[in-house]
């Protein structure tokens, strides 16, 4: 990717879907969509979009859902494929992760054509069993 396409902010959604969707996300989604529009305008035959997110936290679940909803409005029937990481209870970092997942899953069902779902525990198991990594870290998972 080109570094000028990186969009960042000073706040996170604090593991809160509503904050990621309605507050922080609402402030930044137009900038994100403008960048997407500029990239899409340079395409001669845009087929669709790939989305990568994790839905345990507020930004991945809330902003991710908002972005998928807006892509559906702006680009109609263009394909949308999602690679989504779900948290697992054994490696949970926040008590609200299940709520964020449920709220975000509705948008995934409504606004993606295909969603590849993987949970963190499965990724840890793949690292341990298939890659012989005894103590996987997030770097290994990525």
Stretch 90-117: mean pLDDT: 92
Instruction: Classify residue 3: in a domain, yes or no.
Output: no
Please give the pLDDT value at position 137: 85
CATH of the domain at 71: 3.40.50.1440
Of 49, 121, 115, 47, nearest in space to 83 by CA: 115
Domain count, the chain: 1
Instruction: Classify residue 4: in a domain, yes or no.
Output: no
pLDDT at 8 over 90: no
Instruction: Classify residue 50: in a domain, yes or no.
Output: yes
Confidence of residue 93 (pLDDT cuts 50, 70, 90): confident
Residue showing tokens 């993987």: 118
pLDDT at 96 over 90: yes
Q: Can you name the residues that pair with 119 across neighbouring β-strands?
A: 86
Instruction: Classify residue 17: in a domain, yes or no.
Output: yes
Which domain, by its residues, includes 110? 11-141
Confidence of residue 75 (pLDDT cuts 50, 70, 90): very high
């Amino acid at each position: 990717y080109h570094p000028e396409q990186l969009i960042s902010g000073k706040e996170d959604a604090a593991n809160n879907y509503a904050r990621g969707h309605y507050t922080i996300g609402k402030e930044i989604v137009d900038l994100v969509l403008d960048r997407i529009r500029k990239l899409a305008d340079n395409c001669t035959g845009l087929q669709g979009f790939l989305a990568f997110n994790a839905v345990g936290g507020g930004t991945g679940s809330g902003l991710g859902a908002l972005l998928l909803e807006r892509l559906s409005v702006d680009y109609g029937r263009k394909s949308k494929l999602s690679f989504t990481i779900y948290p697992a209870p054994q490696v949970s970092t926040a008590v609200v992760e299940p709520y964020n997942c449920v709220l975000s899953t509705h948008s995934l069902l409504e606004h993606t054509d295909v969603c590849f779902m993987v949970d963190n525990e499965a990724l840890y198991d793949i690292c341990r069993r298939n890659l012989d990594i005894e103590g996987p870290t997030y770097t290994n998972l990525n």
